[in-house]
Structure 1
């Protein structure tokens, strides 16, 4: 039996190379929505850490990093503060085993404890696996900007709690915020 731990991180340095590898592996065949250059990925990870404000978790399987999720609580959209999930990435070796769902659960619990009622994320319009994954968790498309779809979820929604781990067998569940891709300066 594999031991799974989801741990909040405050310092990127000890895990930077592992997280960069996971990101590049997860996006290996995704030339539309992801950074390809390893040095750019490293800068992006630093940007994520800077804006996470306590919302950066890494999933470990038997002590080895296997995925991560990053939330930015203070995002603004049309003048309103709505936290955004900037990245949910699972190593392809571990995809379809419920890690993405566990990471999402940790992020949603974090936001609920901080009093937020809503969360959003951006997903590539052609990333159908990720979109289906998020829809199963109760996210709904609320906006479109270019090749990106904004999905939002009410945090009071019980749909997330009703999902069985068998239903979350997506091969790819990763997202990148349009804001992080465009305005992060990465």
Structure 2
């Protein structure tokens, strides 16, 4: 099932992001940073994002949250952005990420948005996913985690 996140979801969302980071970015960024990811920090971030009307859509079943996507509208060349797409490692490969991605694309289109950007770490496994979803690697920037610099890539999606 799929729905918008509420304040009642902040703890399960934090757990999904923590588990996903440990799998997705081990070997790409400093392990000390990954091990130091703090649940309370993410709970606070999700509370603020939900209260500030950021789009957070989740997939769940009777056992709990399986994955989520968050996004926002913005001004500029890219008028919308996916801020995060995380699927619990135990349920990856079941189409949850694709479902979430398609849902937020649909929502951005309905709001008249045309150019979507997703920032991620270069060479992360999710790079292939974004290319399969139609993304084109168009942008580069430095991403900072734990005071260290990493190469970030931006995948662009034309929503028209």
Which TM-score applies when normalising by structure 2?
Answer: 0.81
Q: Could you tell which deviates more after superposition, 18-27 or 43-52?
A: 43-52
Residues 73-109 of structure 1 deviation map (CA, whole Å, 9 limit, x = unaligned): 12x4xx4452000010001111000000000011000
- Counterpart in 2 of 1:142? 138
Equivalent position to 1:89, from 79, 86, 111? 86
Residue deviations 1:47-92, cap 9 Å, x none? 4335554x21010123621110001112x4xx44520000100011
> In the comparison of the two structures, how many residue pairs are matched?
145
Q: Which residue of 2 aligns with 1:24?
A: 18
Work out the CA distance in 2 between the residues paired with 1:101 and 1:81.
Answer: 21
Q: Could you list the runs of 5+ residues in structure 1 that have no partner in the other structure?
A: 157-186
* TM-score, normalization by structure 1: 0.70
2:78·2:117 contact (CA, 8 Å) conserved in 1?
no
Structure 2: stretches of 5+ with no match in the other structure = 143-150
Which residue matches 2:148? Answer: none
Over residues 17-37 of structure 1, what are the superposed CA-to-partner deviations in whole Å (9 max), with x where a residue is unaligned? 111111111111425386712
SS of 1:27 mapped into structure 2:
helix
Regions of 4+ moved over 6 Å: none
The equivalent of 1:124 in structure 2 is: 121
RMSD of aligned residue pairs (Cα, Å): 2.0
- 8 Å contact kept, 1:122–1:148: yes
Q: Residues of 2 paired with 1:87 and 1:149: CA distance?
A: 14
